[in-house]
């Protein structure tokens, strides 16, 4: 018998004991989720969960910038190759990259020179913040007063593409030297890292994540 002590929420239950694939597909999720198993896993175990690790936040803001003009599933399918090429998004190692030409020949990456160069620029900006005593995670979470914003949208059409907060974050990041961090990119980043909870009311994760927000 599987003990579920200290395990709460349907997603944790699925993770512990498993559910038949047909049952997992029948769970009601946010409308943007496609049937791709990679997308399903991303939605169920990553998107909208509070993340306060500075390097993981750095990785995500960089990857969101790679998405600009594309679908997120395109980036998600290439994420492992990005991690391999960019040293698991370790800023100290990224700044040692001096030539992106090999990356432009790599089909596992989005071969856009500006986007690839932006990751290196962002690593320099991240480390400059550190050198000035500014913690990246604390900086990012300060835009929501260090607590997730809980939204209650019923329909995907209600969810904004950007907000005043994401615009302020974009402006502040650009001032610090970051690139490919527009207001829309910043809002997608906020959604994915749990700064805002935009799981639709009909999604099976909506109540779980709202009830298990960090105090």
Active site residues: 42, 64, 72
Query: Are 109 and 82 spatial neighbours (Cβ–Cβ below 8 Å)?
Result: yes
DSSP class of 196: E
Phi, psi (rounded to 5 degrees) for 197: -100, 105
Tokens 């049937």, residue located: 35
Q: How far is CA 175 from the centre of its chain?
A: 21
Angle at 199 between CA 198 and CA 204, to 5 degrees: 165
Query: Are 150 and 198 spatial neighbours (Cβ–Cβ below 8 Å)?
Result: no
Least Cα distance to 81 among 107, 99, 59, 112 occurs for 107
Phi, psi (rounded to 5 degrees) for 135: -75, 130
């Amino acid at each position: 018998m599987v003990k579920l002590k200290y395990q709460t929420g349907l997603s944790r239950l699925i993770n512990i004991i498993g559910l038949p694939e047909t049952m997992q597909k029948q769970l009601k999720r946010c409308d943007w989720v496609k049937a791709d198993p990679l997308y399903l896993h991303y939605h169920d175990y990553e998107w909208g969960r509070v993340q306060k690790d500075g390097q993981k936040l750095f990785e995500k803001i960089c990857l969101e910038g790679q998405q600009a003009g594309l679908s997120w599933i395109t980036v998600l399918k290439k994420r492992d190759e990005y991690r391999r090429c960019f040293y698991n998004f370790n800023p100290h190692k990224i700044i040692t990259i001096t030539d992106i030409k090999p990356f432009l020949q790599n089909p596992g990456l989005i071969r856009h020179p500006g986007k690839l160069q932006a990751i290196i620029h962002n690593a320099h900006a991240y480390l400059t913040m550190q050198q000035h005593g500014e913690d990246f995670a604390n900086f990012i979470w300060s835009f929501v007063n260090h607590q997730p914003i809980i939204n209650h949208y019923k329909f995907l059409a209600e969810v904004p593409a950007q907000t005043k907060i994401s615009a302020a974050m974009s402006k502040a990041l650009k001032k610090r030297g970051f690139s490919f961090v527009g207001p829309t990119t910043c809002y997608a980043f906020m959604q994915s890292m749990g700064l805002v909870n935009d799981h639709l009311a009909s999604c099976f994760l909506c109540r779980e994540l709202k009830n298990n927000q960090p105090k």
